[in-house]
Each structure stands twice: as C-alpha cells, then as structure tokens.
C-alpha cells in the first residue's frame, strides 16, 4: 500500500493543481492584497518612514512576501475543508491508496501555489524599483527560507482545514498570521516602537525571517538572525506537522 | 483467492455495536450478505444505516463485534478490505472542478489501473455521459452527478459495492437509471449492499431485505418471507389506475425503454 505513496501523491497533487489552474482567482487574490499593501506603503506612507535604507521597497519586500505566503495558505485550509465537506475526501479514504498521500498532495499544492504568488509579487516589486545585489546562492537561500516558512504555515493550515465547521472557520486562522508582519521589523525598524511592542516585535518569528531575507537580498552577510529564523520555521513546522497528523488520524480512523 | 473464501459470505457482520458518546447508534447488528446478491438495508432516518456503511467501508471503527468484507476483517486488514469494495456515499462524491472524464481517470489512476483513459471513456459511454464528459461536473444535473458517482465506484470492478441511499433526492427517471445500473451490476456477479428509506426500492431491487430499526436488525429475509410475517392477503377488487409515476414517465418520454423498466416489477 505504501508502495504507492509517491504515485498516489503525484496523482492527487495533479488533481489539486488543476483546481488552482482552473480558478486562477485564488492565486490572484493571494497576490493582490500584498501588492496593494506594498503600493500603499511605498507610495503613500513610505515617504514618512525612515528606515535608514535608501530604497523603501527594498526594505519592505521581505515582509510583503511573508504576508503573501500567509494569505496563500488560507486557501490550503479552504481547499482541504471543501474536500472533507464534498465527500471526495471519504471517497479517497475508501480507496486502496496510501492515505497520507491525500494530505501531502494538499501540502505540495500549497507550496507550489504560494511560490507562484511570491514570484508575481516579486515581479511587481521589480517594476516598483526593487533591486537586489544578491548572488545565486543568496537567492537560493532566500527561496529556501520562504519554502520552509510556507511548509510550516501549510501544516498549520491543515489543522483548521480538517476540523473547521464552516468555510469561514477554515480560513480565519490566517488573519493573525497576515497581521503578524505589521508588528515586526517588516514595515518600520523595531527600535522606533515603544518598549513592550518592541519586545514582542523583536522576539517573534517574522522579524528574524524578514531580517535574514533582507540581508540576503541586499547581498550582505547574514547575522545570527538566520539561525533564529530557521529555528522558528523548523519548530513551527515540526509542531504543526505532529498536530496535523494527529488530527488527520483521528479523522480517518 | 482460496476456494473457502469464495464460499464465505461477501459481507459478515456479527454483534456490531457503535456509540457516539451517549447515543447508542448500533446495538448489536448481525447479518450476512451472500456473494452476487443484492441486499437492501431498510430503515428510517437515523436508524444507523450510514454508520453501518461507514464501518463496512473502513471509514469508522465499530466499538464491539466483528465485521468482514470479502473475507477480510475490517479492523485487522483494512487495506485488503479497501481493495475489495467500492463506496457510493449518500452525497455524490465527485470533484466539481474537474470534468466528468477527469474524475473517472483520477479514480482509475488511484486504483493503479492500466489505461485510465480507456476505462474512463468506456464508463462515460455506459452511463450516457459521453457528451458531458468534457464538461466541468459543476454544470451537471443531480442525476448526472449520481451516474458519474456510481461510474466512479465501478472502476476496477470491485467484487462488492456499497450504495448508501443511492436514489435519495433523485427524480423518477434518474432513480430508474440507478436501479438499472444496480441490476446490471448484480447480473455481472457483483455483490451489492444498498441502504434505502424507500420501501419500493428495496422491493424492486433486493434479493434479501433487512430492516434496521433503532440500531438492531429486526427482520431479515426475502420479500416473500417478509410478506408472510403479516396475515394472508385478502382479496379486494381495486380499479387499476396508472400511478403518478406512470403518467410522469409517459409524458416526459425518455425513449420508452425506461417506462418498461419502471412498470415491470422484478420477478425473483
């Protein structure tokens, strides 16, 4: 049965990728909110924000990419929820397949679609004057961190996707995640914030991830932030994965 | 397959119990289904039919008792059980965003069969969905969705099929189409367990009928045996009126074939 794990996962991933290519609006919606926030901050508020960096769009982009990923994974929860409601989930569970493939297909689809949205947002940022001095390795490192963060949030999204009672409930978990970059170093340097807010901002995962990607894009050496960023992402990934698998096992007997 | 397996009943349920918290849904269910027969489980809403089908389909565990499907215990050998049956649940389990053909190809590939495309085309043809095959399932009528759903269940020719209220919510024509599909399956040797709340459906299709009431099988027998439970029939003279169904089908047409299928009752 598990002999078919890769084959079954590939077939099921092909299916959910079709859902994305047939309703491109999910990718567009995922990309549009972060792009709107980026336009707003670069062209409206940005002039009044002093980041100490020459280009505000360069400063802003990493945080915007995390917002893109957070809104992308809310669709993962949505797609999983729709499958459990429609009965197709039970059909898959009643077939002689590797059952975990059903979950992995959604996870892979989530990563792929988030990366497409991220690419669109980076494209718009380039049009808005984003420039990077990063070499190939730095780009790969940034992409790797984004993929790891996407995987972590995706496994988190699996839990409401499997347990939610309504569509709204399935995607509501993403709102705090979308909001988290606002209280981090994504938009303004944390040293401008009052004490407790600053303490929160500097010790939550987004700041370390944003700082690391910003350094990578700027072609500068990354500090210890990269280890904090990796530790947060891997930690969230492992904990979310464990709980997601427990939730799944409960659901499927 | 060993000879002893062939002689075993296709489905054997013994002492099956299932509670949901304080609610006793199944309180000791026993029955066998012979290979190649159509077995109807009759019961009102909430009688426990769907719970029973979900346990048979390895989607739910029972609390007590043993259940075997195709000779395999559902708790000990769920993978073997899943190779032996196919489930058509109460609500059509189809993918709305894919086309009808893609739905069939998907299941054929998940069953690891060769030539998924050819299997899909053949089933589209058999279930009169050839023209609709390239359209998204979201555009299908209720009857078409149900036909596609059943077609998806036939992929890989599983020896046993569970149909949970297959005709609930269907119009009379669609219901007759489902009945014909079930009869074809049984004629080809497939064991069919179907649940229904429609008495005439059980009467029309089933070799054996069991009535599930408040979590127990209260009777189990052929239609003739069940009829003998009541006092002998009295002779009354009643003017033969066409039923509303006869009128509906005659007016709507549907190329005549189905009218016969609907009016002729099955002799067994």
| pLDDT tens readout for residues A89-137 | 989 999 999 888 999 999 999 999 999 999 999 999 999 988 888 888 9
Q: What is the residue-wise DSSP string for B179-225?
A: HHHHHHHHHTT-EEEEEES-HHHHHHH-SEEEEEETTEEEEEE-HHH
| pLDDT tens readout for residues A65-93 | 999 999 999 999 999 999 998 889 989 99
- How far apart are the C-alpha atoms of B181 and B93, rounded to whole Å? 17
Beta-carbon separation of A253 and B106 below 8 A = no
A50 phi and psi angles, rounded to 5 deg: -105, 105
CB A110 within 8 A of CB A157: yes
CA angle A199, A180, A233 (to 5 degrees): 90
Supply the pLDDT for residue B176.
Answer: 86
Dihedral of alpha carbons B173, B177, B179, B183, sign: positive
Supply the pLDDT for residue B235.
Answer: 76
Supply the pLDDT for residue B265.
Answer: 44
| pLDDT tens readout for residues A206-231 | 999 999 999 999 888 888 889 999 99
How high does pLDDT run on average in chain A? 90
Q: How many CB atoms lie within 10 A of CB B88?
A: 28
Q: What is the residue-wise DSSP string for B64-90?
A: EEEEEETTEETTT-HHHHHHHEEEE-S
Contact residues, B window 213-252, toward A, CB-based 8 Å cutoff:
none
List all residues 6 or more positions away from B84 whose beta carbon is below 8 Å from its beta carbon: B69, B70, B72, B158, B159, B160
- How far apart are the C-alpha atoms of A63 and A189, rounded to whole Å? 12
Indicate which of B58, B88, B97, B193 best probes the interface with A, i.e. most A CBs within 10 Å of its own CB. B97
Q: Which of A103, A65, A106, A78 is nearest to A174 (CA)?
A: A78
Q: How many CA atoms lie within 13 A of B93 on its CB side?
A: 25
CB B104 within 8 A of CB A99: no
Supply the pLDDT for residue B255.
Answer: 54
Which residue would you say has higher pLDDT here, B78 or A50? Answer: B78
CB-based contacts of A131-138 (< 8 A; 24+ apart in sequence):
A131/A55, A131/A58, A132/A58, A132/A217, A132/A218, A132/A219, A133/A217, A133/A218, A133/A219, A134/A216, A134/A217, A134/A218, A134/A219, A135/A219, A138/A216, A138/A217, A138/A219
CB A77 within 8 A of CB A70: no
Q: Which chain A positions have a beta carbon within 8 Å of B111's beta carbon? A: 95-96
> A87: nearest CA in chain B?
B93
Asked if B96 has any chain A CB less than 8 Å from its own CB, the reply is: yes
Beta-carbon separation of A90 and B86 below 8 A = no
What pLDDT tens digit does each residue of chain B (268 aa) get?
Answer: 444 455 689 999 999 999 988 888 999 999 999 999 999 998 888 888 889 999 999 999 999 999 999 999 999 999 899 999 999 888 889 999 999 999 999 999 999 999 999 999 999 998 889 999 999 999 998 888 888 998 999 898 899 999 998 888 788 887 888 888 889 889 989 999 999 888 888 888 999 999 998 889 988 988 888 888 777 767 777 777 888 888 888 888 765 454 444 444 444 3
Beta bridge partners of B192: B38, B161
Grouping H, G, I as helix, E, B as strand and the rest as coil, residue B162 is strand
Asked if B261 has any chain A CB less than 8 Å from its own CB, the reply is: no
Radius of gyration of chain B measured on its C-alpha atoms: 19
Confidence of residue A2 (pLDDT cuts 50, 70, 90): low
Taking the CA of residue B81 and the nearest CA in chain A, the distance in Å comes to 8
Q: Which of A138, A126, A109, A232 is nearest to A177 (CA)?
A: A232
Supply the pLDDT for residue A211.
Answer: 92
Confidence of residue A34 (pLDDT cuts 50, 70, 90): very high
Sheet with B38-42: list strands edge to edge: B85-88, B160-164, B191-196, B38-42, B208-213, B216-221
> What ipTM was estimated for this complex?
0.85
Distances, alpha carbon B100 to alpha carbons A237, B106, B143, in Å: 37, 10, 13
Q: Is B86 left (phi over 0), alpha (psi -120 to 50) or beta?
A: beta
Asked if A1 has any chain B CB less than 8 Å from its own CB, the reply is: yes
Structure-token pair, residue B183: 């009869």
Q: Which of A69, A73, A86 is nearest to A122 (CA)?
A: A69
- How far apart are the C-alpha atoms of B165 and A45, rounded to whole Å? 60
pTM for the full predicted model: 0.84
Supply the pLDDT for residue B259.
Answer: 43
């Amino acid at each position: 049965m598990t002999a078919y794990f890769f084959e079954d996962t590939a077939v099921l991933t092909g299916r959910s990728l079709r859902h994305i290519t047939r309703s491109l609006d999910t990718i567009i919606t995922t990309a549009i909110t972060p792009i709107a926030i980026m336009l707003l901050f670069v062209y409206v508020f940005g002039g009044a924000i002093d980041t100490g960096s020459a280009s505000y769009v360069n400063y802003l982009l990493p945080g915007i990419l995390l917002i893109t990923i957070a809104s992308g994974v809310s669709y993962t929860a949505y797609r999983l929820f729709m499958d459990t409601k429609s009965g197709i989930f039970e059909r898959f569970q009643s077939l002689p397949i590797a059952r975990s493939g059903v979950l992995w297909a959604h996870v892979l689809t989530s990563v792929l679609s988030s990366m497409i949205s991220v690419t669109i947002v980076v494209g718009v940022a380039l049009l808005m004057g984003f420039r990077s001095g990063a070499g190939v390795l730095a780009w790969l490192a940034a992409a790797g961190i984004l993929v790891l963060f996407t995987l972590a949030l995706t496994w988190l999204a699996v839990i409401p996707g499997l347990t939610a009672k309504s569509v709204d409930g399935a995607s509501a978990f993403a709102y705090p995640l979308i909001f988290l970059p606002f209280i981090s170093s994504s938009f303004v340097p944390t040293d401008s914030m009052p004490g407790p807010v600053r303490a929160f901002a500097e010790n939550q995962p987004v700041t370390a991830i944003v700082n690391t990607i910003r350094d990578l894009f700027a072609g500068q050496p990354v500090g210890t932030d990269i280890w904090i960023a990796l530790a947060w992402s891997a930690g969230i990934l492992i904990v979310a994965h464990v709980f997601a698998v427990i939730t799944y096992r409960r659901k499927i007997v | 397959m060993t000879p002893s397996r062939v002689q075993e009943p296709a489905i054997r349920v013994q002492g099956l119990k299932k509670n949901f918290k304080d609610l006793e849904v199944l309180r000791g269910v026993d029955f066998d289904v012979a290979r190649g027969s159509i077995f109807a489980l009759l019961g009102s809403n909430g009688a426990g039919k769907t719970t029973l089908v979900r346990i048979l389909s390895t989607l739910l565990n029972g609390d007590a008792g043993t259940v075997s499907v195709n000779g395999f215990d559902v708790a000990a050998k769920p993978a073997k059980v899943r190779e032996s049956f196919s489930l058509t649940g109460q609500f059509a389990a189809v993918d709305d965003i894919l086309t009808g053909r893609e739905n069939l190809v998907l299941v054929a590939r998940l069953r690891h069969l060769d030539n998924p495309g050819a299997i899909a085309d053949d089933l589209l043809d058999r279930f009169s969905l050839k023209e609709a095959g390239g359209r998204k399932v979201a555009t299908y009528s209720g009857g078409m969705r149900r036909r596609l759903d059943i077609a998806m269940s036939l992929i890989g020719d599983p020896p046993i099929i569970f149909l949970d209220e297959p005709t609930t919510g269907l119009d009379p024509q669609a219901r007759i189409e489902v009945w014909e599909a079930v009869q074809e399956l049984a004629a080809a040797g497939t064991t069919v367990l179907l649940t229904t709340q429609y008495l005439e459906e059980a009467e029309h299709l089933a070799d054996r009928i069991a009535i599930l009431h408040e979590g127990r099988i209260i009777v189990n027998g052929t239609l003739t045996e069940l009829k003998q439970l009541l006092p002998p029939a009295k002779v009354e003279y009643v003017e033969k009126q066409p039923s509303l169904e006869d009128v509906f089908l005659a007016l709507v047409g549907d190329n005549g074939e189905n009218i016969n299928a609907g009016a002729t009752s099955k002799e067994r």
